[in-house]
Amino acid sequence: MRKTLACFAFILGIVITSAPVKAIDGSTVSNPKIVISEVKVGGGLEPKEFVEFYNVSNQPVDVGGWVVEYLKADVVISDCSLFPWVSNLSSDVKTVEFAAGTVIEPRGTIMINNLIMNDSKSGSIRLVQPAGDGMTQDRLHDNVGWGASATCFETQSVSLIPQSQSIKRKFSLDGYPIDSDNNKNDFSDILEMPTPNITPAVQQADLCLNIDGVQSEVPPGMGLDNASGECIAPQPVCDQLMNKVKISEILPNATGSDEGKEFIEFINQSDLAVRLDGCRLQIDNKTPISLDSLEIKPNGFLSIFNKELSFSLTNSSASRVFLLSENLEIDSIEYPANLPDDKSYALLDGMWQETYKATPGETNVIQEYLPCPDGQERNPSTGRCVAQAVASNSNLVACDANQYRNPETNRCKLIEVDSSSLIPCADNQYRNPDTNRCRTISSVASILKPCDQNQYRNPLTNRCRMISSASTTLIPCKQNQERNPITNRCRIKSASAAAKAPFGVEPVIETGKGFVGWWALGGVGGLAVGYAGWEWRREVSSAIKRVSSLLGGKGLGQ
């Protein structure tokens, strides 16, 4: 079937432009390049449609088995680079295969005219060399799209092709076709009469589509944008350093004189060396300083000291350092005021921090404090340097096997033992959770005398108390008695239980003055009795004796 199709294609329209010569198979030619040189999609002139291919190499190329694919407009293709093109409708894609032995001579052309393309509509054509004969992958030689609805093309499509006209590839002054992988730039927008199988005349290519007239060369000081086919002024070198070069460290206040010790460091975050041509260093609103000819290695650092370039960094107030181009601010950073001696402001992991370890030309390191003098160490709690605690182990008594030395006090302490490894306590003991020691269980209840049946033990005093009987079984109290609600015992009624008086009892408020008067009266009375006793002591003594004798004599007489 494949041979039949190939012969049919050959009979319909494959024409070789020059006499047969010994062909060199395309796979043996060093990277042979075949390009599409002209396309006509319809019209009254013969041939009504054709696609022409040009051999760029200096050797004949055997294109037998190579495939030409045509794709209609507005067809959705998931990936234009995949081979073959696949669409939902088989009619969307048409294919022609060159017959075996078909050869394109050096700098020659070949044409096919049996694709049956849509007149005056967008479309796409490509030439593919299938894998085989030593090639492990399919190779796309060329792809051209025309019209705004073209699906597959190189960068930009060519203008729509009217009937009876064609699009032609541009050729350079040296006679080679222009192939910048941009269809709009590679093909002429000036639609011409078709010239199939005629080696294109040398054309003067217009390299700058955005400049009036034909520009055979890129004007000095400009560059060619292959994507648009336009010549543009090159971007300044320093403008290209945006997000690549950054300020990474600043030391504004060195110990002693700042002359020659202050520095500003830059980091190159790209994998290529960069030059700072066109870049300027500026501090606050001072005059910018040129950084021309300075270079930073890939992922490297550049430290500029104020002995190399004339600049001065303010110590007493915050200042901003700028890296500028002619048009852009590449980077800037404001460092804080009153940084201590030898304390730099450094960028590390995307954050600016103060550090006592300046590292010009090296990876930044954050060090919060200055190193302590010899013989001192930093107290982590206060951040201050303190004398190192040197233990004289030679004078210390060795700790016991069940002890360890406290590093803070150098004293021996018992090693805490897990309770699971402790010796169990005796039956009459329990383990104190605070000391892990065994203590005797206090068995008070075992030595107490049992209470009687009508008694119970008070848990607070451990004494036996009578069980209070229910109020229904209590003996009624007598008429002049009442029951104590606390003890349930009968007691004589208090005076408060007497009949109420017909008048209210007025409370007597005892003042401090009344209280002192009674004491004074008692004191005076006591003194009077004492004085009388003293004065009448003899008389009283005689009276007592007489009474005693009388009482004694009466008793004897009885």
Whether residue 168 sits in one domain with residue 105: yes
- Distance from C-alpha of 263 to C-alpha of 277, rounded to nearest angstrom: 20
Contact 430, 441 (CB under 8 A): yes
Please give the helix or strand (H or E) that residue 320 lies within, else none: strand 319-324
* Nearest of 304, 293, 286 to residue 237 by alpha carbon: 293
Specify the residue for token string 């796309």: 140
Q: Which tens digits make up the pLDDT trace of 285-297?
A: 999 999 999 999 9
Q: pLDDT grade, residue 28 (50/70/90)? A: very low
Contact 53, 35 (CB under 8 A): yes
Q: Could you tell me the residue range of the domain that residue 124 belongs to?
A: 1-203
Whether residue 342 sits in one domain with residue 431: no
- Distance from C-alpha of 465 to C-alpha of 101, rounded to nearest angstrom: 131
Whether residue 332 sits in one domain with residue 417: no
Decide which of 94 and 115 is more confident.
Answer: 94
- Token couple for 89: 């409708």
List strands edge to edge, sheet with 50-55.
Answer: 15-16, 109-112, 50-55, 34-40, 166-168
Q: How many domains does the chain have?
A: 4
Query: Is 511 within a domain?
Result: no
Contact 123, 41 (CB under 8 A): yes
- Token couple for 242: 């945006």
Residue where one domain finishes, among candidates 355, 381, 411: 355
Coil, helix or strand at residue 263: strand
Query: Is 552 within a domain?
Result: no
User: With 70 as the cut, is the pLDDT of residue 553 above it?
Assistant: no
**What average pLDDT does the chain have?**
81
User: With 90 as the cut, is the pLDDT of residue 268 above it?
Assistant: yes
What is the average per-residue pLDDT within 354-379? 91
User: With 90 as the cut, is the pLDDT of residue 327 above it?
Assistant: no
Residue where one domain finishes, among candidates 203, 225, 246: 203
User: With 90 as the cut, is the pLDDT of residue 102 above it?
Assistant: yes
Query: Is 34 within a domain?
Result: yes
Residue where one domain finishes, among candidates 158, 186, 203: 203
- Distance from C-alpha of 75 to C-alpha of 90, rounded to nearest angstrom: 11
Query: Is 367 within a domain?
Result: no
Whether residue 324 sits in one domain with residue 176: no
User: With 90 as the cut, is the pLDDT of residue 497 above it?
Assistant: no
- % of the chain with per-residue pLDDT over 90: 32
Coil, helix or strand at residue 71: strand
Whether residue 169 sits in one domain with residue 23: yes
Whether residue 162 sits in one domain with residue 55: yes
Whether residue 189 sits in one domain with residue 270: no
Chain centre distance of CA 37: 54
* Highest mean predicted confidence (pLDDT) among 17-31, 34-48, 147-161: 147-161
* Nearest of 164, 204, 167 to residue 189 by alpha carbon: 167
Whether residue 243 sits in one domain with residue 109: no
Query: Is 271 within a domain?
Result: yes
Whether residue 177 sits in one domain with residue 278: no
Which of 318-322, 435-439, 443-447 has the lowest average pLDDT?
443-447
Question: What 3 state SS string does 440-454 have?
Answer: ECCCHHHHCCCCCCC
Whether residue 429 sits in one domain with residue 455: no
What is the average per-residue pLDDT within 339-343? 92
- Distance from C-alpha of 428 to C-alpha of 82, rounded to nearest angstrom: 92
Q: Which tens digits make up the pLDDT trace of 226-247?
A: 777 788 877 778 988 999 999 9
Query: Is 259 within a domain?
Result: yes
Q: pLDDT grade, residue 511 (50/70/90)? A: low
Pairing of strands 490-492, 481-483: antiparallel
Q: Which tens digits make up the pLDDT trace of 455-493?
A: 888 877 778 888 764 445 678 888 888 888 877 788 888
Beta strand ranges found along 180-288 (DSSP E): 223-225, 230-232, 245-251, 263-268, 274-275, 280-283
Contact 231, 211 (CB under 8 A): yes
Whether residue 1 sits in one domain with residue 113: yes
* Nearest of 114, 17, 101 to residue 68 by alpha carbon: 114
Contact 283, 345 (CB under 8 A): no
DSSP state of 458: -
Question: What pTM does this model have?
Answer: 0.37
* Nearest of 330, 282, 336, 284 to residue 309 by alpha carbon: 282
Which of 267-281, 312-326, 504-518 has the lowest average pLDDT?
504-518
- Distance from C-alpha of 438 to C-alpha of 415, rounded to nearest angstrom: 18
DSSP state of 116: -
Which of 80-84, 393-397, 534-538, 551-555 has the lowest average pLDDT?
551-555
Query: Is 309 within a domain?
Result: yes
pLDDT of residue 113: 86
Whether residue 145 sits in one domain with residue 37: yes
CATH number of the domain residue 118 falls in: 2.60.40.10
The CA-CA-CA angle for residues 137, 140, 146, to 5°, reads: 155
User: With 50 as the cut, is the pLDDT of residue 438 above it?
Assistant: yes
Query: Is 461 within a domain?
Result: yes
Q: Which tens digits make up the pLDDT trace of 403-417?
A: 888 888 888 888 776
